[in-house]
A and B are shown apart, each in its own frame.
Chain A
Amino acid sequence: MSKRILQHPAESTTGKRYWRSLGQLQDTPEFRSWMDREFPQGAAEIQGDDVSRRGFLQFMGASVALAGLSLSACRRPLKNLVPFTKGVEWSVPGKALFFTSAMPSRNGAMPLVVTTFDGRPTKIEGNPMHPVNQGTTDVWAQSSILDLYDPQRSKGYLFGRKPSDAASFEKALGELLKGTPDGAGLAFLTDGTVSPTQERLRAEVLKKFPKAVWASFEPNGSELEASAVSAAFGPGHHAVPVLQKADIILTVDRDILGVEGDIAAIRGFAAGRKADKAGTKMNRLYVVENRYTLTGGMSDHRLRLAASRSGAFLKALALQVAKLAGDAGLAKAASELKVAETKIKDRWVEECAADLVAHKGAALVLVGQRQPAAVQALGFAVNAALGGLGTTLELRKTAATPALSISALAEELRKGKTSALFILGGNPVFNAPADVRWADAQGAVKTVVHLSLESNETSVAAQWHVPAAHYLEQWGDALAVDGSHMVVQPVIMPLYNGLSSIELLAKVVGTEPDALALVQKTFVEAFSTQADLTSFWAKSLKAGFVEGSRASAVTPALQVDAVAKACAEASAVRVVENTFELVFITDSKVDDGRYANNGWLQELPDPITKLTWDNAALLSPAAAKKLAVETGDVLKLSVGEKSVEIAALVLPGHADDSISVAVGYGRTEVGSVGRKVGVDVFPLLTAAEGRFRVGVTAAKTGRKYALAVTQEHGALEGRGADITRQSTKQEWAENEANPDYFLKMGIDAHAPANFSLYTNPPLDDIHAWGMTVDLNSCIGCAACMTACQAENNIPIVGKEQVIGGREMHWMRTDRYFASEGGDADEPEMVSQPMMCQHCENAPCETVCPVNATVHSEDGLNVMAYNRCIGTRYCANNCPFKVRRFNFFDYNERSITSLYKWNLISDKGMPESLQMQKNPNVTVRMRGVMEKCTFCVQRIQEAKITSKVHAGDSGVQPRVPADVFTSACAQVCPTDAIVFGDLRNPDSKVAKLNKDQRSYRLLEYLNTQNRVSYLARIRNPNLKMPDAARAGSASKDAHGHHGEHQQPAAPKATNGGHA
């Protein structure tokens, strides 16, 4: 045998390259530092606080002396065991108890099952019985548990910002209502969530107070879409895309898989994307957008185009579709639309339109909710021409009754005739459009009552602040995306005596504010046809939703003339040359600012930019060059007389004449987590111009701002092409017979056969735990990261620590760009969840001096925290960079006092946060290493259950296939992550491991990973001008070169050792 060269082959700089960031593409010193060192130089000195290292050492002596004194009292502390006085139904100390519930949201409530331990909710999962999400959830549902326990939640009534109480509020409310027997001068403002009970109470309020005004406002809502639907199909409808029925999907400025969609759309898309074997039918996604979104990341063809030019694209497309489909009405409507002069790639439009028309009845066009109503209406007309109405695009009756817009309400308030305004949730002082001038309008009202979870900007400007009950604290009801009726079941008594919105409305109406009774009354009225309502209620509560209550589709005809009229009447979107358009995007984390005090969300890297703890102005590399800025330079964005200063973040794939910025940051009246985070861009957003603005000028200010971007943190030297593998449907079909097609990509195509100098003890347990991640389904939404954080008691570390590379997330979603020759303008995007690979030959284990990380018989790479002495050798030797070290007592210290001297800083976790912790997972302390455990607490629970079931029967205890799963796999909206027992042939993971697409990372290192990935398949339309760029593996720098190929290494032995 010739000498085995263990050096990693140098990465080729020609051909197709995969890169994590522009830093990597240009090979900057900063990026090299991330690769060569575990942490950047000087990370230990990066400090957010005042105590220097020298000061710390000076104090050390004193603290050692004091510690000696305190040794005198070392008796065993007395601990008490406190049982209930009376047994509580279903409650078994130490066992989890599950309740169905639902999280209300503007897009339709998320059906949930909430895990509770001894009366404390600790974790949220999706309701597996509900057809909409089938047990999956999203980032927001996962992190809502932290909102419940937020130590800075509002804990009492405030009157004029001074503490008050419920009795005084009742009295004041009574006097308020006595003043207006007919409701003149009363106004109500709600958010966009739809609750049947709230709707019922609204009707009662308006019956009792007929002159009262009712408005609703959702900062990231979809009013323009509603008016487009109304124009195209008549009022009272809303449109629901059915992605599972669509073979060809075109989105125009619509992030349907991200913040502008819902879980039903995501699951629908993923259902059409499963590629079991070569030649399986797959949907095709065309995306037109101004910035990279999750939808763009999944696209087969992507066109970057400013949002202000999307109308022009849609017009060109509609004309082409009309021509091919012979639809005169559509042609007329499209030609009426006035658009900005825009150069559109003709062949792109022609081939896309041809593909859509060729799939009549199974084609879907989705237009962005920020586009003018006429453009969106034209989008519906295109769908009608493509025969999609009733199949790929369903129409349903709207459940919510129409209400005034916030602009209209503000006008009403400014008249000065309103004596009392009730704001039920929301924060309009912060997030109402600037031209509404809401703060003035609210100031014109004598008494403002604001109900909210936290005391925010609106509370401060209101006379009364009423603490709200979290949705997990009070009975309520809601409608799911599919319109099914769900009961929001509380799982804990209100922690701070909060009031729910329906209770407040009941007080206004003068009925008993008993939330359960109110919800049950709605239920009884809605389902009065049921014979036995008591058992029907119990059954529905158990299931979490009312079976068969799904909203049915209606089939109104498209009024093409009305669309044409709307198009004709709409004024053209202006495009001002040599300026930028500014696109206001819904933030993937804090939404409209409502989650600003949620540390899990603030620290979650944005799925695309990987930015934490901030928002930034996203712009293309070309635009950055033009402005002579780079990431971290502060830009001044001005339009009219208003301007904001915000740091730039250069994002490949962004349209050159466009800047995107997330709203919801820069809150001022907020808890300590959200304070001084990001920049408020609402001052630039106006109701008149909508959610993108043209004619914005950008100028470099010369200031620098530190952004905490995790993008380069987990960089593996030039291994992008190796660890993310993709191919196209067509090329896969050509290589169907080659079992090594996906195995021998990248460096593995050159690597000699593996052999090991070690002999490891056999992994001979009856189980062999393993995981597989389908890159073809993974959209990169990062719900898995939040689920992992909630399940495994992972702390947040704060912005300074993230900049130092010390974030604690056990798993991350890596985002790679791929492009031919390193083109940064129009790269492809691939997301890859990355967690501990549980290598059977784990490099971390061999370097641990104290055996703190070792292997278990069932194949886990386990960490014994109590053994770890914190050498961090393991993290240095991990090829996947998945180990995390507790540099501070992140659990015991608030992120603002990490650097404070031990004896003077506040220690200890707030009591409410302690309640969230999973009792089955150790809360780690300073100085220990941690990493993904494959949710070992769930594995142990399952094993123990199998042993208890076996008892003394003599049956071999064995965990049945797929009875439990890890937190990341459970939450995954696209079922991309699958966890289970590789030794059980019936388990999903064992089956997926046999897939031709299955490969393991860095196989040539012979680490024998227990995590495998399924290669991504793109489905390009070969007639498209950019088809050659799409996800083709053979064009990789390290592609198939027959002469290099070595005899195939034995494939994944998974459990046994070859």
Chain B
Amino acid sequence: MANIFPRWSNWLPFKIIFCLLVLGGGVSAGVWYYLNPAYMRVGYQPAQPVPFSHKIHSGQLGMDCRYCHSYVETSAYSNIPTTQVCMNCHSQIKSDSPKLQLVRDSWESGKPVEWVQIHKTPEHAYFHHSVHVARGVSCVSCHGKVNEMEVVHHAETHSMAWCLDCHRNPENHLRPVSEVTNLDWEPPAGTTQQKIGAALVEKLHVNPPVKNCAGCHR
């Protein structure tokens, strides 16, 4: 009786399994790498309707973050400034720059400028700005050096593991509360971030939720 299956078919199941393993591994690796906030979010840099430069305002002019994001110390949200805040200065400075046309239109019409959201907390997580800045977590820890960004981009991963890195070891990020909005702050010479941070954890009784799910999920 002739062989129904040719000889090479003996290896076929192994080849199929090998291919599936490679394929499965590839898919897993792809998901692991690409569907990760470190890839998906970091670097997200959408064009804003008004070409507002944080580099000029915060970096060169040295405006404090809280001039525009005025409720960061009182609310869960760090607010986007109203058109009125822009117009405080721009009714006099660069009052006819074409780049600001949208802002002036908004001021005339009462229709708000629709900024594009960059940092988005998932809906099952509740982040509170004021408690972080009140206890010495700087803007730079989560948003990067915005004062050097011409167009703001997503600088950190904002994944849960990233949150917990700091909640577990706050000394790596805490700084004196007075320096929270100073994005260029460095630990003074002769000391380290860890030393300053550890002293602050002790002094301020810093005790962020680590194992308490309800700290962020409620």
A residues contacting B by CB (< 8 A) are 76, 78-87, 92-95, 854, 856-858, 860, 862-867, 920-922, 933, 936-937, 939-940, 944, 947-948, 950-952, 954-957
Given that A921-B218, A944-B128 are known contacts, is A78 also in contact with B116, CB under 8 Å in the complex?
Answer: yes
Q: Could you tell me if A944 and B75 are in contact, using CB atoms closer than 8 angstroms?
A: no
B65 within 8 A of A: no
CB distance from A863 to the nearest CB of B (A): 8
Q: Could you tell me if B214 and A940 are in contact, using CB atoms closer than 8 angstroms?
A: yes
Residue pairs across A and B with Cβ atoms less than 8 A apart, 14 shown, are A82-B112, A83-B115, A85-B111, A86-B82, A86-B83, A86-B110, A92-B71, A856-B214, A862-B217, A936-B214, A940-B126, A940-B214, A948-B73, A948-B74
B211 within 8 A of A: yes
B106 within 8 A of A: yes
Provide the residues of chain B in CB contact with A93, threshold 8 Å: 71, 75, 77, 79
Within 8 A of A (CB), among B57-108: 71, 73-77, 79-85, 106-107
A862 to B44, CA, bound (A): 34
Provide the residues of chain B in CB contact with A83, threshold 8 Å: 79-83, 112-113, 115
10 further A-B pairs in the complex, CB-CB below 8 A; given A80-B115, A85-B107: A84-B84, A85-B83, A92-B71, A95-B75, A854-B213, A864-B217, A940-B126, A944-B128, A948-B131, A952-B204
**Which of B1-9, B117-125, B143-151, B186-194 makes up part of the contact surface?**
B117-125
Q: Could you tell me if A856 and B211 are in contact, using CB atoms closer than 8 angstroms?
A: yes
Provide the residues of chain B in CB contact with A944, threshold 8 Å: 128, 130-131
Q: Could you tell me if B213 and A864 are in contact, using CB atoms closer than 8 angstroms?
A: yes
B212 within 8 A of A: yes
Provide the residues of chain A in CB contact with B85, threshold 8 Å: 87
For A83, A857, A944, which residue has the most chain B Cβ atoms within 10 angstroms? A83
A747 to B80, CA, bound (A): 60
Q: Could you tell me if B217 and A922 are in contact, using CB atoms closer than 8 angstroms?
A: yes
Digit string of B131-144 for contact with A (CB within 8 Å is 1, else 0)? 10011100000000
Q: Could you tell me if B134 and A951 are in contact, using CB atoms closer than 8 angstroms?
A: yes
Q: Could you tell me if B71 and A80 are in contact, using CB atoms closer than 8 angstroms?
A: no
Residues of B in contact (CB 8 Å), total: 51
Provide the residues of chain B in CB contact with A856, threshold 8 Å: 209, 211-215
A1004 to B116, CA, bound (A): 57
A867 to B213, CA, bound (A): 10
A858 to B209, CA, bound (A): 10
A92 to B205, CA, bound (A): 28
Contact partner, A922, options B46, B113, B204, B218, Cβ 8 Å: B218
Within 8 A of A (CB), among B167-218: 176-178, 203-205, 209, 211-215, 217-218
CB distance from B196 to the nearest CB of A (A): 13
Closest to A924 in B: B124
A854 to B217, CA, bound (A): 12
A693 to B211, CA, bound (A): 63
B residues contacting A by CB (< 8 A) are 40, 44, 46, 71, 73-77, 79-85, 106-107, 110-117, 120, 122-124, 126, 128, 130-131, 134-136, 176-178, 203-205, 209, 211-215, 217-218
Provide the residues of chain A in CB contact with B136, threshold 8 Å: 952
Provide the residues of chain A in CB contact with B115, threshold 8 Å: 80-83
Q: Could you tell me if B112 and A84 are in contact, using CB atoms closer than 8 angstroms?
A: yes
Q: Could you tell me if A85 and B215 are in contact, using CB atoms closer than 8 angstroms?
A: no
Q: Could you tell me if B217 and A80 are in contact, using CB atoms closer than 8 angstroms?
A: no
Q: Could you tell me if A80 and B117 are in contact, using CB atoms closer than 8 angstroms?
A: yes
CB distance from A866 to the nearest CB of B (A): 4
CB distance from A91 to the nearest CB of B (A): 10
CB distance from B111 to the nearest CB of A (A): 7
Contact partner, A95, options B74, B82, B114, Cβ 8 Å: B74
Closest to A82 in B: B112
CB distance from A514 to the nearest CB of B (A): 23
Provide the residues of chain A in CB contact with B213, threshold 8 Å: 854, 856, 862-864, 867
Mostly helix, strand, loop or mixed at chain B's interface?
loop
Top 3 nearest A-B pairs by Cβ distance?
A94-B77, A856-B212, A952-B177
Closest to B46 in A: A78
CB distance from A953 to the nearest CB of B (A): 8
Given that A940-B218, A952-B136, A957-B205 are known contacts, is A79 also in contact with B82, CB under 8 Å in the complex?
Answer: no
Contact partner, A85, options B76, B110, B214, Cβ 8 Å: B110
A86 to B111, CA, bound (A): 10
Mostly helix, strand, loop or mixed at chain A's interface?
loop
A84 to B122, CA, bound (A): 23
Provide the residues of chain B in CB contact with A84, threshold 8 Å: 82-84, 112
Q: Could you tell me if B218 and A937 are in contact, using CB atoms closer than 8 angstroms?
A: yes
CB distance from B152 to the nearest CB of A (A): 12
A948 to B203, CA, bound (A): 15
Q: Could you tell me if A940 and B117 are in contact, using CB atoms closer than 8 angstroms?
A: no
Closest to A937 in B: B218
CB distance from B76 to the nearest CB of A (A): 5
Contact partner, B215, options A78, A940, A948, A957, Cβ 8 Å: A940
Provide the residues of chain B in CB contact with A955, threshold 8 Å: 205
Provide the residues of chain B in CB contact with A857, threshold 8 Å: 211-212
CB distance from B70 to the nearest CB of A (A): 9
Provide the residues of chain B in CB contact with A952, threshold 8 Å: 134-136, 176-178, 203-204
A922 to B71, CA, bound (A): 23
Given that A78-B46, A920-B126 are known contacts, is A951 also in contact with B177, CB under 8 Å in the complex?
Answer: yes
A79 to B126, CA, bound (A): 18
Provide the residues of chain B in CB contact with A858, threshold 8 Å: 212
Provide the residues of chain B in CB contact with A920, threshold 8 Å: 126, 218
CB distance from A34 to the nearest CB of B (A): 31
Given that A82-B114, A85-B112, A951-B177 are known contacts, is A933 also in contact with B75, CB under 8 Å in the complex?
Answer: no
A1042 to B85, CA, bound (A): 77
CB distance from A838 to the nearest CB of B (A): 12
A948 to B217, CA, bound (A): 20
Contact partner, B40, options A76, A80, A933, A937, Cβ 8 Å: A76
Provide the residues of chain A in CB contact with B122, threshold 8 Å: 866
CB distance from B147 to the nearest CB of A (A): 20
Closest to A862 in B: B214
Q: Could you tell me if B79 and A866 are in contact, using CB atoms closer than 8 angstroms?
A: no
Given that A93-B75, A95-B74, A857-B211 are known contacts, is A87 also in contact with B112, CB under 8 Å in the complex?
Answer: no
A922 to B110, CA, bound (A): 32
Provide the residues of chain A in CB contact with B71, threshold 8 Å: 92-95
Q: Could you tell me if A948 and B134 are in contact, using CB atoms closer than 8 angstroms?
A: yes
CB distance from B140 to the nearest CB of A (A): 18
Provide the residues of chain A in CB contact with B74, threshold 8 Å: 92, 95, 948
Given that A83-B82, A866-B124 are known contacts, is A948 also in contact with B130, CB under 8 Å in the complex?
Answer: yes
Contact partner, A87, options B82, B110, B120, Cβ 8 Å: B82
Provide the residues of chain A in CB contact with B218, threshold 8 Å: 862, 920-922, 933, 936-937, 940
Closest to B111 in A: A85
CB distance from A446 to the nearest CB of B (A): 45
Provide the residues of chain A in CB contact with B135, threshold 8 Å: 947, 951-952
CB distance from B3 to the nearest CB of A (A): 39
Q: Could you tell me if A950 and B205 are in contact, using CB atoms closer than 8 angstroms?
A: yes
Q: Could you tell me if B84 and A85 are in contact, using CB atoms closer than 8 angstroms?
A: yes
CB distance from B17 to the nearest CB of A (A): 25
A588 to B128, CA, bound (A): 40
A335 to B214, CA, bound (A): 68
Q: Could you tell me if B205 and A85 are in contact, using CB atoms closer than 8 angstroms?
A: no
Given that A83-B79, A921-B218 are known contacts, is A954 also in contact with B112, CB under 8 Å in the complex?
Answer: no
CB distance from A356 to the nearest CB of B (A): 52
CB distance from A800 to the nearest CB of B (A): 29
CB distance from A221 to the nearest CB of B (A): 44
Given that A948-B131, A952-B136 are known contacts, is A865 also in contact with B75, CB under 8 Å in the complex?
Answer: no
A735 to B75, CA, bound (A): 53
CB distance from A761 to the nearest CB of B (A): 8
CB distance from B72 to the nearest CB of A (A): 11
Provide the residues of chain A in CB contact with B212, threshold 8 Å: 856-858, 860, 862
A364 to B4, CA, bound (A): 103
CB distance from A744 to the nearest CB of B (A): 35
Provide the residues of chain A in CB contact with B215, threshold 8 Å: 856, 940
Q: Could you tell me if B214 and A76 are in contact, using CB atoms closer than 8 angstroms?
A: no
